[in-house]
């Protein structure tokens, strides 16, 4: 697992610990006792950007991205996990995606694990995830580090820059998301 900048990681852990809703979501996924189960994307990004902008209330999430890694299982398993999470926390808009299957959608070689899958995401500040480790400590997974996330910087991942189709998808996503409209200090780079 990649080494993350200490002060950013400590700050992120502290913010998650201070957010009862996020902590409850992490506890619900940890209770599933899956070998690989992380919460990522907007679940982390929105928390950090809201805090850095001094927002008094959290920016709503369209969904809570649950990242599992279970080779050999299909979409039925994702539905089963979503149902278990919905039973535990029905008000949360869960979205489970088995990262062991996402390579096919993206036209990539098989991913080795969740960290490898995150390396193939489109933008660096969203390729961050968290889970509860044994004993309840928050564990952070960030293959590109946390500098862009905390620096309010959005840029394509190396993988997105390496393929024309992925770079095009990145640019379309940035236009659709329009994050600076919500978080004015965010800087989005085209490449």
Query: Which tens digit of pLDDT belongs to each residue from 27-86?
Result: 999 999 998 999 999 999 999 999 999 999 999 999 999 999 999 888 999 999 999 999
Average pLDDT of the residues in 171-191 = 96
Confidence of residue 3 (pLDDT cuts 50, 70, 90): very low
- Domains with residue ranges and CATH for the chain: 6-186 (3.30.460.10)
Q: What is the pTM of this model?
A: 0.93
Average pLDDT of the residues in 147-167 = 96
Q: Give the pLDDT confidence score for residue 104 in this predicted structure.
A: 80
Q: Give the pLDDT confidence score for residue 127 in this predicted structure.
A: 97
Residue 110 has pLDDT above 70, yes or no: yes
Confidence of residue 107 (pLDDT cuts 50, 70, 90): confident
Q: Give the pLDDT confidence score for residue 138 in this predicted structure.
A: 96
Confidence of residue 103 (pLDDT cuts 50, 70, 90): confident
Average pLDDT of the residues in 89-114 = 91
The dihedral formed by the CA atoms of 113, 61, 105 and 115, expressed in degrees to the nearest 10: -20
Q: Give the pLDDT confidence score for residue 5 in this predicted structure.
A: 56
Confidence of residue 116 (pLDDT cuts 50, 70, 90): very high
Handedness of CA 154, 155, 157, 160 (dihedral sign): positive
d(CA 86, CA 187): 35
The 10 Å Cβ neighbour count of residue 107 is 10
Report the share of the chain in percent with pLDDT over 90. Answer: 87
Residue 99 has pLDDT above 70, yes or no: yes
Residue 2 has pLDDT above 50, yes or no: no
| 51 CB-contact burial (10 Å; exposed 0-12 / middle 13-18 / buried 19+) | middle
């Amino acid at each position: 697992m990649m080494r993350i900048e200490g002060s950013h990681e400590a700050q992120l852990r502290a913010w998650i610990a201070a957010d009862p809703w996020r902590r409850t979501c992490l506890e619900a996924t940890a209770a599933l006792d899956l070998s690989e189960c992380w919460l990522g994307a907007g679940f982390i990004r929105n928390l950090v950007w809201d805090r850095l902008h001094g927002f008094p209330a959290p920016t709503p999430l369209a969904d809570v991205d649950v990242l599992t890694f279970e080779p050999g299982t299909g979409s039925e398993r994702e539905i089963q996990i979503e149902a278990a999470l919905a039973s535990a926390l029905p008000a949360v808009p869960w979205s489970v995606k088995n990262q062991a299957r996402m390579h096919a959608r993206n036209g990539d070689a098989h991913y080795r694990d969740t960290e490898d899958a995150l390396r193939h995401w489109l933008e660096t500040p969203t390729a961050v995830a968290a889970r509860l480790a044994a004993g309840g400590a928050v564990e952070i997974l960030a293959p590109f580090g946390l500098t862009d996330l905390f620096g309010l910087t959005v840029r394509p991942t190396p993988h997105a820059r390496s393929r024309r189709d992925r770079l095009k998808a990145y640019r379309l996503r940035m236009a659709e998301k329009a994050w600076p409209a919500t978080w004015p200090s965010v800087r989005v780079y085209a490449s």
